[in-house]
Amino acid sequence: MKHNENNLIVSVVISTYNRKELLKECIESLFDQTYPKDKYEIIIVDDGSIDKTKEMVKGLMKKSPCSLRYFKQENKGPATARNKGIKNAMGEIIAFTDDHCIADKDWLFHISSCFFRNSNISGVRGKVKLNSEGPLAEALTKYIYKSKGSFATNNIAYKKKVLEEIDGFDESFPLPASEDIDLGLRIINKGHIIKYEDKAIVWHPCETDWNTFKKRRILAGVGLYYLMKKNKNFFVLVGFYRLIYVPIYWKAIKSGKNYSQNVILTANLLYHFIGFSRSMIDPKWPIKYFKDYKCKTKY
């Protein structure tokens, strides 16, 4: 694969918390990128881990083919951690992925190429694939991760100057719930363009048990509450963020062709509603419910 002489400098920012082994695999996938090693850096922001994440990263620094930098902060959530990464980034493009994802070897090449071909865009959203099979993975891939309108930070990149223009992530979001969607909405509302590039691929672990699936969907419902609370426009927000999926879900459920998939889609909507409604009734409930979420849930 040939690279243009004008390759953009890219900073990959990863927020992490107590996922040492998964993070190691993620970093190693970034070591294997076909993108020129002198054209990108990896920035790890440790959000208060207690599992010797620092020692693991320091060990990888000794064999890193590219710049690998490490920062640590008190546990304040992914929004604060990513902002720290943005502040310290050297690149003109900031690419985000999650600490449990695996980047395809051409991931950065396709992100950079998309920016280079489209000088008018401010962001690139890539394709997310699940690394497992079965009804749950099929339903999530087809109806959730397939969305081209998603702003999830498991696979997205922005121009650094645009992130600085809007002051980065909103650190008032107390949980890993929709702070990335809020960022994307603010960028779009400023008139910026985010383009979808299906060749920029990352592999995402699929929930392997029902309890993990339930918690992640409830958390997404909590995120919807945070978005509504901030934007103070329930109908526009819900129409953009969540209800756009309802006709798709309803068509799939009505067809009755796949019972397992229909159960999963119905449960997905139900758990979203639970997370949203419980947060409406008691705004302090999500903090109590998800107190140990990040360290207990591995997916």
Task: Evaluate whether residue 223 is within a structural domain.
Answer: yes
Whole-prediction pTM value?
0.85
Distance CA 138, CA 260 (A): 10
Predicted local confidence at residue 298, as pLDDT: 37
* CATH number assigned to the domain comprising residue 38: 3.90.550.10
Predicted local confidence at residue 279, as pLDDT: 87
More confident residue, 44 or 135: 44
Task: Evaluate whether residue 124 is within a structural domain.
Answer: yes
Distance CA 230, CA 198 (A): 31
Predicted local confidence at residue 245, as pLDDT: 56
Provide the domain limits for residue 236: 10-296
User: Which tens digit of pLDDT belongs to each residue from 213-253?
Assistant: 888 888 888 888 888 888 776 555 555 555 555 555 565 55
If you search the block for the tokens 């395809």, which residue do you land on?
104
Residue 154 — pLDDT band, cuts 50, 70, 90? very high
Predicted local confidence at residue 143, as pLDDT: 57
Count: domains in the chain: 1
- Give the residue from 70, 82, 74 showing the smallest Cα distance to 180: 82
Task: Evaluate whether residue 218 is within a structural domain.
Answer: yes
User: What is the 8-class DSSP label of residue 39?
Assistant: G
Task: Evaluate whether residue 2 is within a structural domain.
Answer: no
Task: Evaluate whether residue 1 is within a structural domain.
Answer: no
Tell me which of 71-80, 99-108, 153-162, 215-224 is least confident. Answer: 215-224
